[in-house]
Every structure is written in C-alpha cells, then in structure tokens.
Amino acid sequence: MDKFVIRGGSPLVGEVEIGGAKNAALAILTAAIMTDDYVLIENIPDVSDINVLLEAISGIGAATERIDRHSVRITGSTIGAVSVDYEYIKKIRASYYLLGALLGKYKHAEVPLPGGCNIGSRPIDQHLKGFRALGATVEIRHGVIVASAENLRGAHIYMDMVSVGATINIMMAAALANGNTIIENAAREPHVVDTANFLNSMGANIKGAGTDVIRIRGVEKLHKSEYMIVPDMIEAGTYMFAAAATRGDVLIKNVIPKHLEAMTAKLVEIGCEVEEFDDAVRVCAKGRLGRTHVKTLPYPGFPTDMQPQISVVLSLAQGTSIVTESIFENRFKYVDELACMGASIKVEGNTAIIDGIANLTGARLCAPDLRAGAALVIAGLAAEGVSIVDDIVYIERGYEDFDQKLRLLGAEIEKVSDEREIRKFRLRVG
C-alpha cells in the first residue's frame, strides 16, 4: 500500500490552486445521464471517487469520453441497464445518485444498498422517503433497492434531517416528475446549489437551491449542456488549516470565499490572519494559535468534512478546545493516531476535548478515512521529525495531487511504497 512520508517542521509558504468540488462532481456527473444529448462537464477533480463513478456510469451503458484529466463528455442515450453493479456501490457510496437519475429518466432503478462506512452507519431512509413521496414503489430485494413508478408526480416533502445526498437525489428525480415538488428542510451546501444549477442548465426548473426550501417544477425532458464544476470548499479548507498548523503563509487560489466563511471565522478567532480576494484567500499564522469551541453543522455551519483538520490545529493551540461532531457518529477515529504524536485529546461521545500542546512529534500513522487522512498529513507537516501516513488510498479518493501541491508549498513529503524508500527519504532529509 502506498504511504506518505513527511518530515515536518517547515511552514507552508506559497500558492496552491484548488480544483473542482468532488461532492458536486459526483452528483453532476450522475445527473448528466438524465438527457439523451451529450453533456460536457469541466473542472472535475482527477480523484479515484470520480474515476470509479465514471466506471459505474459506463457500466450501465452511458458513453463517457475523458477529454482530459478535468473534463469529460457524457451521453446517456446509450444506457441499456437501469441496475448498478454492487462493485461500484461498494467502492463509492455516491453511486446511489444513480437512483434519482435513473428513476427520474426511466421511472425504474435498481441500486444496491450502500453499506455503512468509516464515519458512521449512514442510512438512506430519507432518500427512499422522497422517492415514495414522488409516487415510486421502493423495495429492498436481496440488498438491492428497486424503485419504480408508472409516473412520478410532484410532492411536498419535509426532510426529517438535513441530508445533502437525499436533497440531491430527490431533486434529480423530481426534475422529471409531473407537477411541482417542494423539498423542505433541504440541505444548502454549495454542491447542492451546483447540482441544481447544472440541472437548470439542462432545462430543469429548480428554484431556491441554497435555501432550506427548494421548489422544482417538473419538465418533460432535459437537454445538452456544458458545465464547469464549482471549486472544492473542503480541499480549500484543508490547505487553509494546513497553513495554520504549520504557521505558514499560503494563498489558496480559485475559491469562492463566501463558501469558506465558517472556516475563515474560526481561523481568525484562533489568531490567524485571513485576507479575502475575489477568488482567493490568504491564510497567515505567526506564533502559537488560541483555543476555541466548534460544532459541526450543515452548511453554512462549520463543515463536518473539516472536523479532523481543525482538531489537528487545536491540538497545537494554547489552551483547551472542544470539538463537537453533530453530523456523523464515528468521526473521531483519527484521535488515537494523533495520540501517537503526543496529542492530548479525550473523546466523550460526539465531543473531543483537546488540551493543546506545544509540539507534536512524528510517528507511524494510518489514515482511517478520507478527511481524517488529510488531517494526519497536516499533523505530520506540523510535527517535529518524520511521520509516515499509511492507507493513503483513502486520501487519494478526494485530494488530487495532494503531495505534489504540498511540495510546491515547501513541504517535505513523498509518496512511497516500501521501507527501502522510507529509509532513502530519512537519509535525504537527515
């Protein structure tokens, strides 16, 4: 298994370009099959989650043509099957977006139930509730969700909890239903808005995305489109907090500062200087940062996908901080890894109590999931000495060229595959 080996202690300094949002691209690439015309999607991140989803889309017969690393042309006219193989769902949960897309377009879809994952059980009851409200019969047969409808009809749906995936999945199916649908208590994330904007670019009629009430007037069919994915707020936030952890000075380019406000606010609160430009933010941290309390919330609150990263920064802060994870039930597994570096963090239920210490020291670590893996790399960059982060396959699901981008910021980090290469790295960095 590939690993990252890191020699910490150098502040990150310089500029980094942010790519397209993985969680918008996963929804939009799926929605692209809802028309029989061709669709060109640009600014997609070249990460394994995207590449697996494109395999799933090809797997049901859609034509996908990779123009370059960040652009793909999709044509849904050749789709021959409305059932998705389990191998894809196992690799990438977001294949469940094919439920909403296929049900909307073909009024039938068969998609294996996604299991839980490293951060929680992650049921999809709200997705199924929405499809049923739109008039579909939804059954679970041998682990496969079978959804079908004579016709889908608009409905007034109140979500039991804010769910990004359910909001997007229901929005896709409703786009081609007869009549009007209202989704109340909808998710407001930028990737929900991006998906709505994309569907509208194909001729859908969706209003209110970005608020907690989304109104969809169903249309007969959708048409071709060319679309550019929104910048990834979580990739941007990860580099913002890496700058803070290493007391660096980094210009994060190609972002929408508005999407980063909850993260910017916390960085300023603990003592960073954050300067906003039209499409960039600059994060500068001098000296030891202060403590804070943070609770993860649906957008525009502090993102759960940034919870491990802020915990790493707070593990080095002056004083005791409290981090509360309100979205997922098992998102503190990285804490045991940080303890190997000397961090002083106690997890009680969905809360982590973090007593900041002056220095972390390098250690051998294992990435437990995508965002925690990125956070452990940040910890290695801030720590004294050499760290090795194993299982980086998780990190490569959502971060394009992670080590390359960090090296351009002055980090001493390399991707290695065996002990011999680790020894070479140690000899080189001294």
Catalytic residue ranges: 117
The residue (of 228 and 297) whose beta carbon lies closer to ligand EPZ is 297
The residue (of 124 and 244) whose beta carbon lies closer to ligand EPZ is 124
Asked if 54 is part of the footprint of ligand EPZ (rule: CB under 6 A), the reply reads no
Asked if 238 is part of the footprint of ligand EPZ (rule: CB under 6 A), the reply reads no
Minimum CB separation from ligand EPZ for residue 326, in Å?
9
Structure token digits, residue 289: 């940062």
For ligand EPZ, what does the binding mask look like between residues 92 and 121, x meaning CB under 6 A? --x-------------------------x-
Minimum CB separation from ligand EPZ for residue 296, in Å?
9
Any residues with CB less than 8 A from the CB of 204 and at least 6 apart, and which?
A: 175, 196, 216, 219, 222
Minimum CB separation from ligand EPZ for residue 194, in Å?
11
Nearest to 176 by CA among 110, 105, 82: 105
Any residues with CB less than 8 A from the CB of 172 and at least 6 apart, and which?
A: 27, 30, 31, 34, 97, 100, 101, 104, 195, 199
259 CB neighbour count, 10 Å cutoff:
24
DSSP state of 110: E
Cβ contact 192:168 at 8 Å: yes
Structure token digits, residue 350: 């969905």
CB-based burial label for 208 (10 Å; 0-12, 13-18, 19+) = middle
d(CA 11, CA 126): 44
d(CA 20, CA 277): 19
Asked if 88 is part of the footprint of ligand EPZ (rule: CB under 6 A), the reply reads no
Minimum CB separation from ligand EPZ for residue 423, in Å?
33
The residue (of 22 and 107) whose beta carbon lies closer to ligand EPZ is 22
Helix, strand or coil, per DSSP, at residue 215: strand
Among 371, 376, 377, 386, binds ligand EPZ (CB under 6 A): 371
The residue (of 88 and 425) whose beta carbon lies closer to ligand EPZ is 88
Among 11, 100, 231, 398, binds ligand EPZ (CB under 6 A): 398
Size of the site for ligand EPZ (CB under 6 A): 24
Return phi, psi of residue 31, to 5°: -60, -25
Minimum CB separation from ligand EPZ for residue 114, in Å?
9
Among 124, 176, 338, 381, binds ligand EPZ (CB under 6 A): 124
Minimum CB separation from ligand EPZ for residue 175, in Å?
18
Minimum CB separation from ligand EPZ for residue 289, in Å?
24
DSSP state of 261: H
The residue (of 239 and 328) whose beta carbon lies closer to ligand EPZ is 328
The residue (of 43 and 163) whose beta carbon lies closer to ligand EPZ is 163
In terms of phi and psi (left: phi > 0; alpha: psi -120 to 50; beta: otherwise), the region of 319 is: left
- First vs last C-alpha separation in the chain: 25
Minimum CB separation from ligand EPZ for residue 242, in Å?
16
Nearest to 344 by CA among 314, 382, 366: 314
Among 7, 70, 127, 266, binds ligand EPZ (CB under 6 A): 127
By CB under 6 A, the residues from 331 to 370 that bind ligand EPZ are 370
Q: Which residue is nearest to ligand EPZ (CB)?
A: 165
- Sign, CA torsion 7/343/241/267: negative
Among 123, 137, 213, 407, binds ligand EPZ (CB under 6 A): 123
Nearest to 100 by CA among 74, 130, 139, 73: 130
CA angle 259, 265, 268 (to 5 degrees): 135
By CB under 6 A, the residues from 15 to 44 that bind ligand EPZ are 22-23, 26
For ligand EPZ, what does the binding mask look like between residues 133 and 172, x meaning CB under 6 A? ----------------------------x-xxxx------
The residue (of 166 and 338) whose beta carbon lies closer to ligand EPZ is 166
Contacting residues toward ligand EPZ, per CB under 6 A? 22-23, 26, 94, 120, 122-127, 161, 163-166, 187, 304-305, 327-328, 370-371, 398
